Amino acid sequence: MKKLAEILQAELEVVRDLLTVCRWEQEALVADDIEALRAAVEKKGDLSRALAALEEERRQAARFEEADGTAPDVLEELLDLLRQAVRDLQEVNETNRLLARQSLAYTRKVLALLVPEDKSPVLMDQLV
């Protein structure tokens, strides 16, 4: 089993990678780049699954570490860095959520202008 500090370091790296991908996602939202957005969402999914696995591993390791005594300063420093990275990630995700809602609202307005009220809209999809 990995030591708790190693797991926290790995979690920190994954959260930082997630932050980078969320910034790519933000750029894609602003540029209306569907392909870049799709790639960012896929990468976020992969990183989220990796983070969930690490978090489970951390929980398992923490049980054994706590039984041995208090956490050393290194663990506290890693936890502080991880908390800050998660706060940064939450801020970027909130901005991305607002950008996505704005884009959706714009799309709905354009669609309302193009489709008469008494007609139902035609659904179009991109071939995959």
Model's pTM, two decimal places? 0.76
Q: Indicate the pLDDT class of residue 74, thresholds 50, 70 and 90.
A: confident
pLDDT digits (tens, 9 = 90+) for 34-47: 999 999 999 999 99
Amino acid 124: pLDDT? 60
Residue 23 burial (CB count, 10 A) = 16
Determine the Cα–Cα distance for residues 59 and 39; give it in Å rounded to an integer.
30
Mean pLDDT of 7-25: 97
Q: What is the mean pLDDT of the chain?
A: 87
Longest Cα–Cα distance of the chain, Å, equals 71
- N- to C-terminal Cα separation, the chain: 42
